[in-house]
Amino acid sequence: MSSESTAEIMAATGRALCEHGYADLTMQRIADESSVTSAAIHYHFDTKEELLNAFLDDLLDRFESRLACEARDPRDRLTDFLDAVFEESSSDHDDFPVALMELKAQAPYHDLFRERFVELDEVVCDVVGTAVRDGIEDGHFDDADPDEVARLVATMINGAHVRSVALGERTDRTRETIEGTLALHLGWTPGSEVAA
């Protein structure tokens, strides 16, 4: 399958998931959202689980490449990371956070989904933990446990996701709370000017 077709199937999967929800998602409904036939989708993905696993993998790849950047000031890295997380969640289809929440609720029944979510969490903790560690070494941040700060941020991001879906709260509100607590842990406020 060409990478264009794969990209098209992934995009169609996202739209169909938002529109019909996990329980009512079918290969046919995904095909209906794209120019690829359901037979072609079936040819590459035996089951809905495999297809959704590829979908989560694709999401993870895009998130990682968005974060990949040359070694720079760790303060900029943390700010960029928060931008990537919080812009991502507001720019997608309105229903996307709901669809993703449904997949998280399915994780106990699908090892492949759980593996993808664990992987995503590791990426988040690694990016934040490394930036915090580097920032402490460079003398930009107060002394703190980088892994605990990373876990705090990762958990707050998980919380922001639930709050947007269950309470209808804007995720920006949680970003402010994360920034406030990072200021206390690191003695530095995300987004504040970094002298070149």
Rounded CA-CA distance 59/65 in Å is 10
Residue burial 3-23, b: 16+ Cβ < 10 Å; e: rest: eeeeebbbebbbbbbbebeee
Binding region for a copy of itself (CB under 8 A):
23, 95, 98, 101-102, 104-105, 107-108, 114, 117-118, 121, 148, 151-152, 154-163, 165-168, 173-174, 177, 180-181, 184-185
Q: Which is nearer to a copy of itself, 34 or 171 (CB)?
A: 171
* Residue 8: CB minimum distance to a copy of itself, A: 26
Q: Which is nearer to a copy of itself, 7 or 142 (CB)?
A: 142
* Residue 143: CB minimum distance to a copy of itself, A: 12
Sign of the dihedral defined by the CA atoms of residues 159, 165, 167, 170, in that order: positive
* Residue 165: CB minimum distance to a copy of itself, A: 6
Residue 60 sits at φ, ψ, to 5 deg, of -65, -45
* Residue 153: CB minimum distance to a copy of itself, A: 10
Rounded CA-CA distance 187/139 in Å is 11
